[in-house]
Amino acid sequence: MTVALITGANSGIGRSAAVDLAAKGWTVYGSMRSLEKGEKLAAMCAEAGVKVHPVVCDVTDTASVDRAVAEVIAAAGHIDVLINNAGIGGNGVCEEASLDDYMEVMDVNLYGVIRGVQAVLPHMRERGSGCIINVSSIAGVIAALAQSPYVASKWALEGLTEGLAQEVVSHGIRVVMIEPGIVKTAIMAKNTDAPNATGAYDRAYQRMFNFYATGLATPGQPLEVAEVIYEAATAENPKLRYTCGWGGEELVAGKAAMSDEDWVALGAIEDDAEYAVKFKELFGLELVS
């Protein structure tokens, strides 16, 4: 029986993945900061006729993460798959985002992953097997405008994951990352602030919101990401990166094909209509105005 621990299982991608993996016969433990946050997860489980075991875990608290991992191992005997899914957004251009903004986002999106990895790796190494799945973002591949704290956290996560994959492969441990594009989750509804304290970055904030408005017209769904997570954990020949959700494949391909100079030049375009034309040329995505 495959045993999985998923962080941030009370909403969005984590909740959908927890239910989906349980429906596939896995023993699933879903972590959340408090059990009161698990009502929707419990309702989805009841509807699907499956069981997900709730676990209290705050990924910003090392002791809490250690306790959660120990609790799952004590109950299930082992952990086969750790899915580091918990995450938060973070809007703001570099000039206007405070260091506190950066630290808050890093504490969840990067350090939270590190805490989980460090808690579970000794157990996986001892068993000589395991899988660690880090849920990143398309913002870990392309520096999404006016989201500097979020982008910084996801780019750091990409580097961490690349290095980790090499570090543990000889111990029989698989490491992969998921890079969703725009997916319909609660993080989108929560992530609507635009500091714009100086008024100097109106264009950047507006283009960021236009990008998300375009994606949210036909977004990816959490279940789509859940299926990719299952594929990543079970593929005979796994990849390091898996992309899904609205715009994921197009943005990855477009960024790989363009030069650094092309990327900087895109930001220099002042006219929004001209920007949209160039964006479509580069990425094959038509932005709403």
132 DSSP 8-state letter: E
Classify residue 165: in a domain, yes or no: yes
Local confidence band at 196 (pLDDT 50, 70, 90 cut-offs): confident
Half-sphere exposure of 138 (CA within 13 A, CB side): 26
Amino acid present at 85: N
Local confidence band at 190 (pLDDT 50, 70, 90 cut-offs): low
Q: Do 215 and 181 form a contact (C-beta atoms < 8 A)?
A: yes
The residue-averaged pLDDT of 75-99 equals 96
% of the chain at pLDDT higher than 70: 98
The residue-averaged pLDDT of 53-73 equals 98
Q: How many domains does the chain have?
A: 1
The residue-averaged pLDDT of 2-30 equals 97
Classify residue 206: in a domain, yes or no: no
pLDDT (0 to 100) of residue 288: 83
Q: Do 138 and 94 form a contact (C-beta atoms < 8 A)?
A: no
The residue-averaged pLDDT of 158-171 equals 98
Q: Do 13 and 180 form a contact (C-beta atoms < 8 A)?
A: yes
Catalytic residue among 150, 201, 205, 230: 150
Local confidence band at 99 (pLDDT 50, 70, 90 cut-offs): very high
User: In degrees to the nearest 10, what's the CA dihedral of 212, 214, 217, 218?
Assistant: -90
Domain of 44, CATH number, reads 3.40.50.720
- d(CA 238, CA 233) in angstroms, rounded, equals 8
Annotation says 275 is catalytic: no
Classify residue 253: in a domain, yes or no: no
State how far the alpha carbon of 105 is from the alpha carbons of 56, 147, 185, 205, in Å: 20, 11, 18, 19
Structure tokens at 197: 């304290």
Classify residue 238: in a domain, yes or no: yes
State how far the alpha carbon of 15 is from the alpha carbons of 37, 41, 89, 251, 276, in Å: 11, 6, 17, 26, 35
Classify residue 57: in a domain, yes or no: yes
Length of the chain: 289
The residue-averaged pLDDT of 216-232 equals 96
Helix axes 111-127, 99-109, angle to 10 degrees: 20
pLDDT (0 to 100) of residue 195: 74
Answer yes or no: is pLDDT of 193 > 90. Answer: no
Local confidence band at 189 (pLDDT 50, 70, 90 cut-offs): low
Residue-range definition of the domain harbouring residue 54: 3-200+219-247
From the CB of residue 202, how many other CB atoms can be counted at a distance below 10 Å?
11
- d(CA 173, CA 49) in angstroms, rounded, equals 31
State how far the alpha carbon of 126 is from the alpha carbons of 80, 84, 164, in Å: 12, 20, 17
Answer yes or no: is pLDDT of 65 > 60. Answer: yes
pTM value? 0.95
Give the bridge partners for 83, in sequence order.
6, 133
Classify residue 272: in a domain, yes or no: no
- d(CA 206, CA 37) in angstroms, rounded, equals 33
Classify residue 252: in a domain, yes or no: no
pLDDT single digits (tens) 237-284: 999 999 999 999 999 999 999 999 999 999 999 999 999 999 999 999
Local confidence band at 187 (pLDDT 50, 70, 90 cut-offs): low
Classify residue 196: in a domain, yes or no: yes
The residue-averaged pLDDT of 43-55 equals 97
pLDDT single digits (tens) 103-140: 999 999 999 999 999 999 999 999 999 999 999 999 99
Q: Taking Cα atoms as reference points, which of 119, 67, 93, 89 lies closest to residue 11?
A: 89
